[in-house]
Amino acid sequence: MSDLPIIPEDKIKSASQGLRAIAHELRLSVLCLLLERPMCVHELIEATGAAQSNLSQHLSKMRMLGILESEKRGQEVMYSIANPDFAELVNALKQIYCPEMVCAAPTAKEG
């Protein structure tokens, strides 16, 4: 018998689903942008070059999964990272793949 801890299968499954949710290039790009500050769809389109319909589908999926949250401000809908743990995960990926871009910027929505 091993002394290694047994990781519950439901936790592994949940982690796998979370990683799949952010594994798409556009979604990951959006999350990197939102590490800096909340942004509206127009700003995200400009920064990513994505078509509005495509971006909206990805934003909707990440909102459904609890990764993003949205807040209506006047005519605009502002998106931010809902779960600070996802912000930490994206920051960790940024440190690995884009260390020259890592700074001590806010990691979740601004208060």
Q: What is the chain's percent helix, strand, coil content, to nearest 5?
A: 60, 15, 30
Question: End-to-end CA distance of the chain, in Å?
Answer: 49
Coil/strand/helix, residue 50: coil
Q: pLDDT per residue over 23-52, tens digit each?
A: 899 999 999 999 999 999 999 999 999 999
Q: For residue 103, what pLDDT is reported?
A: 54
Token reading at 95: 């440190």
Domains of the chain listed by start with CATH number: 11-101 (1.10.10.10)
Is the pLDDT at 109 greater than 50? The verdict is no
What does the alpha-carbon distance between residue 70 and residue 54 come to, in Å, rounded to a whole number? 17
Q: pLDDT digits over 55-99, tens only?
A: 999 999 999 989 999 999 999 999 999 989 889 999 999 888 888
pLDDT value of residue 38: 97
Q: Answer yes or no: are the C-beta atoms of 31 and 22 closer than 8 Å.
A: yes
Of the pLDDT bands very low, low, confident and very high (cuts 50, 70, 90), residue 7 is confident
